[in-house]
Structures are given as structure tokens and as C-alpha cells.
Chain A
Amino acid sequence: MRRLSHAYLALVLAFLYLPILVMVVMAFNRSALYELPFTFDLVWFKALAGNERLLAASWNSIWIAACNAVIATFLGTLAAMAFARYAFRGKQLMQILLFPPITIPWLIIGTSMLIFFFWTGIGRGLHAILLGHVALSLPYVIVVVGARLQSFGPALEEAAATLGATPVQTFMRVTLPMIAPGVVAAGLFAFAVSFDQFVISYFLAPPGTSTLPVEIYTAIRKGFTPEINAVSSIIIVISMGLMLAVARNYRFGGE
């Protein structure tokens, strides 16, 4: 049974990584048109080093995604607590309000944000993009942390309360450790949602500034070369490194 499980996991991982492997391999292939046979060459990485536009966009993306992850996780975890531990009038309505950011096509949200920000003077810019990204990440955070809170139940927290802990103490010392995997996962989701978010960034980016997905999209429209693969591969490697570093300090496996 165990061996079956391991084999199955391996299969699933293989499926998940198939296109990523293709993507990374092609970053090292000399052909600009993605043609085989494979010839090893670092030309695309060299080209990437000189591509200021792509590098600046990548940096913007990382910065925005990091801010987004922190803000969205913080706001979303609080809201998730309210949903999971309290029963109140209007709860269902508020939960339903989480649907629009995810259901309504981003194109519409993007257009309406563009117009609204124009009316209110917020305008286009990296700050506008961040505003948009946090809004899009919130439902994910609330749902993921919420699922964790649901599965755990309030028993421990109630116990802490009867022992005299204040709500804040209960949160910091009982709830947070308990839901930590959910919170961290939500943070990672939020980062990924922002980092990969294209439509909103596209609408709200001012001329001359851009984020990585927008640059990739424009490159794809114009004629993309494996430079895109190169930058994507680098990002994967860096994320892997970051995750390993985080994993060292904190156990997701949770035990």
C-alpha cells in the first residue's frame, strides 16, 4: 500500500513537472525557434543579463508579490478567524462577497479598476497594481486559512480562554501555531497569485513600467525567444532556494 502511494505521488509530480522540465531544458537550447535537436548553449542567459526591461519587470514583480503576500495574508487571516470562530448576521453575505474577485473575469475587474482609479485619482502605477493584487489574493487567503481553522475546531481556543488567556494571547499562542501551515500556504498562494497575475497588472501598469507577466505577454505577442525560458528558469531556481530556506526554519509537514 505504501509503495503504491509513493509510486502514485511520483507519477503526479512527474505530470506537474513535465512542462517545467521542457521549459527549463529549452532555456539551454540554442535554437531561437524552439527547434530540436537540442544543442546546449547559454546564449539566452547572456541575452537576459543585458535585457534591462525584463530584469526591471522581474524586480517589480517580486517586490509587489512580496508586499502583497504579507498584506493579504495578514488581512485575510483576520477575516478567516472571524468566519470560523464567530456566528454573526451577515456572515453568509460576506462570504458570498468573496466570489466576485475570483468569478468575474479579471478583464472586467481590471477595466473597472482602471476607471475607478482614474475617477478617484489613484491612477495607474505600481501602487495601483498592489492595491489590485491584494484584493485578488484575499479570497484565496481567507479560504485556505479558513479550511485549516475549520478542520481544527475551536476546542483548544476555548480551553485557553477558560484558563484566563486574553483573545490576543489565545491567538498568538494557540491559534496561530495551529493554523500556521495554512497561513504560510496562504502566503505562498498570495505571492504566486500576485507574481503570476497578468490582467490587472496589464491594465494598471503605467507606460514604461511593467511586471514580469506583462513583459512575457508582450514578448510572446512580439516574438518570444528562449530568454523568457531563461528568466522563468532562474525564478524557479530562486524560489526553490527560498523555499528550502523557509523550510529550514519552519516545518510545513507540521507534526
Chain B
Amino acid sequence: MPFPTVSRRLFMSLLGSAAALSALRPAAAAEGELKVLNWQGYGTDEKWALEIFEKKTGLKVVHDYFNSEQEMLTKLRTSPGVYDVVLMNNIYVMDAVSEGLVQPIDIGKITNFNDLTPALRDSERFVKDGKHWAMSWVWGLTSFAYNTQKIHERPDTIQVLWDPAHAGRVGWRDDALESIQLAALATGQDMNHPADLDRIKTKLEALKPQIKTFWSSEDEWNKYMAAGDYDVAVYWSGSAARSKKAMKLPVDFVVPKEGAIGWFDGLTIAAKAPNPDGAAKFIDFMVSPEFYVRWDTDVGAPASANAKANAELPPDAMNRAILGDPEVVKRVQWMAPLSDEQRQKNQELWDEVKTKLAQ
């Protein structure tokens, strides 16, 4: 009878796995390592860049990713002493400062400091008490992109997303804040303090016949565009550059007359960073033209906060042609920080809209 042997084996393997369990302790942080927390595929993890950085400084960069800004904050809150460099959208930085999650950056260590656009670099979103809590890195716009093979005349209004001619072929992102802000632009309101939320809600509900499906990552966007699911879709400027250049999709990014959502990101050093010096070096490298120009030219990127780096781009690069155009920048509304209550209200509104869209 095979049983007694099987159960004896079972017991032995149990003991074995208990022993193995203790072997699965995490390794202590290695010397010469830098931990970076960012979106995936958002510049800091470019292989060639990390090779250059390692050659320069001897530091090996290890990445951890987040899929939402709330997740980034959760990771920061629950893992002190784990991360060195953390990417943070400007609207979160001052909250992170008051929670003690980040430390000030020694601007003496940032050699590219003087080339950074002052409007972004010295923004009150990054600077407090004379200290720089984040270094402005990139900025971009959220608007829409269209398939140039399906739509032959370049749209100039955001209402194209509501155009019945594209019913069932519009792409949208499942994000409360972005949706409300786009609807605010479409109804001519201040996107940070919309006066008439009911109008925004109705406008969003009017998307019911339009949306084919939601996309949640750049890759999904690319795949749906390539498959012909989308004629026109909400998108980010940096990603549009990548889709056009690296993925070779026939798409074009539009900043319509109603304007676009503007955002800018900064790089921060976590409060209990194991290697703040290395972190500063990495940030310096990220804002340098050496990194940025190659990133945008080879891969595609949002616009740089380093004016000098931007100027080194070829003239037809999207970041120079569109985002570098002052007329365009005038139409941009910049994202502002929200309180938890506002965020909650937005979430509810969007959940209600989504429920309507599904019925």
C-alpha cells in the first residue's frame, strides 16, 4: 500500500519547506544599488540610460513600479528606507512633504539646475521654505490623438470625441479626474474648479454610444489603435510621441481650441532613502540633455523641464513643434492639487457615469 510512504514523504517535504522558508529571507540591500519607483516604461528604466549611469557612477539601478499615483503613495508610506528616487506628479508633492515622505534636494548637486525652466523648477508645488523638495523633470499634455488613416482632416475641437461619426470607435481612459477635466474643457469650464458639475456629468454620460472600450496602459492604447478599435482616443502627449515614433502607428496628437490638460512631473528623494547622494546624481542625469535628447529622439517622451534639452531636439519633434508653440501653451489648463474630499466626489461622479454607460 503506497500510503504510508506517501505520507512520510509528505512530512519530510513539510520539514524541508519549513527549512526552505527560512532561506527565503530577502537579501539585504546591496552596496552600490539605487532603488527607483516610477511608472513602467517612463524614462528612468531605459536600458541604455542605466548602462550609461552605471558606468559613470558605479551604481546599479533597481526599479519598482506603480500603476496609479495612490499606489505610489501607499508604497512610500509602507516602505520607508526602501526607495531612493520616486517620481511624483506635482500635485502630490506638497502633501508628501507634509507627511514627511520626501527630503529636500541639495541643489548644489544638480549641475543642470540653471538650465531648468524657472516656471516649473521654482513652482510653489515643488519649493517650500526655500527648499526644493522635487526637481522638475518633464511636462506634458493630456488631450487626444486620432488615426490619420481613418480621419483625414485634422480635428481642431475636443467635440470630435462626441461626434456620432465616430460612434463606437472612441477610446477613453477609466480615470475620474481626467474624465471630469476633459468634460470641463468640452463644456468651457475651469477644469480645476468646475462651476457646473451636472453639466459635466451629462456630457460624460453622452459618451455612451461613443466609447468602444477603456484603455488603461499605453500598450493597450497602441493595440486598440492598431486593431482599428479606435478612430480617436484620449491620450498623453509623451505617449503619442512614442506611439508614433517607436510603434510607428499612423497617429497624430491634437491640442484643440478648447485647450488641454497640462501636468508636470518631478523627481523626489524619499525621506529615508538609503542613498541620497546617489539619488541626487540620478536626478541630475535624468534632467540632463545627454539623457533627455536621446530619450525623446529614440523612444519618445514628454517635454523636458530643461529648456536647453528641449532646444536640442530636432525642429520637427512633437515636443518642439506642438508643446514648444506658445500659442498652444496658452490654451493649456494646468492640473491643480485636490483635497481628499474633492477626489472622493470626483470618484463618485465617475462611478455613477460608468454605471450609466454600462446599462
Interface residues of A (CB under 8 A from B): 33, 63-64, 66-67, 70-71, 73-74, 111, 114-115, 118, 123-127, 130, 172-173, 176-177, 180, 206-209, 218, 220-224, 249-250
Q: Is the CB of A206 within 8 A of B82?
A: yes
Name A77's closest neighbour in chain B (CB-CB).
B10
Give the distance in Å from the alpha carbon of A223 to the alpha carbon of B226 in the complex.
Answer: 13
Q: Does B130 contact A (CB under 8 A)?
A: no
Q: Does B122 contact A (CB under 8 A)?
A: no
Give the distance in Å from the alpha carbon of A209 to the alpha carbon of B82 in the complex.
Answer: 13
Count the B residues whose beta carbon is within 8 Å of the partner chain — how many?
37
Name B216's closest neighbour in chain A (CB-CB).
A221
Give the distance in Å from the alpha carbon of A245 to the alpha carbon of B83 in the complex.
Answer: 45
Q: How many A-B residue pairs have CB under 8 A?
A: 88
Q: Residues of B contacting A123 with CB < 8 Å?
A: 26
* Minimum distance in angstroms from A124 CB to a CB of chain B: 7
Q: Is the CB of A127 within 8 A of B26?
A: yes
Q: Is the CB of A74 within 8 A of B10?
A: yes
Q: Give 1 or 0 for each of B61-73: 1 = CB within 8 Å of chain A CB.
A: 0111101000000
Give the distance in Å from the alpha carbon of A222 to the alpha carbon of B219 in the complex.
Answer: 6
Q: Is the CB of A126 within 8 A of B26?
A: yes
Q: Identify 25 residue pairs between A and B in the complex whose beta-carbon atoms are under 8 Å apart, listed by A's number.
A: A63-B24, A64-B24, A67-B20, A70-B10, A70-B14, A71-B14, A114-B74, A124-B26, A124-B79, A125-B26, A176-B3, A177-B1, A180-B6, A207-B35, A207-B62, A207-B64, A207-B82, A207-B83, A209-B26, A221-B40, A221-B67, A222-B41, A224-B219, A250-B2, A250-B6
Q: Is the CB of A206 within 8 A of B26?
A: yes
Q: Is the CB of B7 within 8 A of A172?
A: yes
Q: Does B178 contact A (CB under 8 A)?
A: no
- Residues 54-97 of B contacting A (Cβ, < 8 Å): 62-65, 67, 74, 78-79, 82-83
Q: Is the CB of A173 within 8 A of B3?
A: yes
Name A177's closest neighbour in chain B (CB-CB).
B3
Of the residues A33, A218, A220, contact of B65 by C-beta under 8 Å: A218
Give the distance in Å from the alpha carbon of A60 to the alpha carbon of B37 in the complex.
Answer: 22
Q: Does B218 contact A (CB under 8 A)?
A: yes
Q: Does B152 contact A (CB under 8 A)?
A: no
Q: Does B330 contact A (CB under 8 A)?
A: no
* Minimum distance in angstroms from B13 CB to a CB of chain A: 5
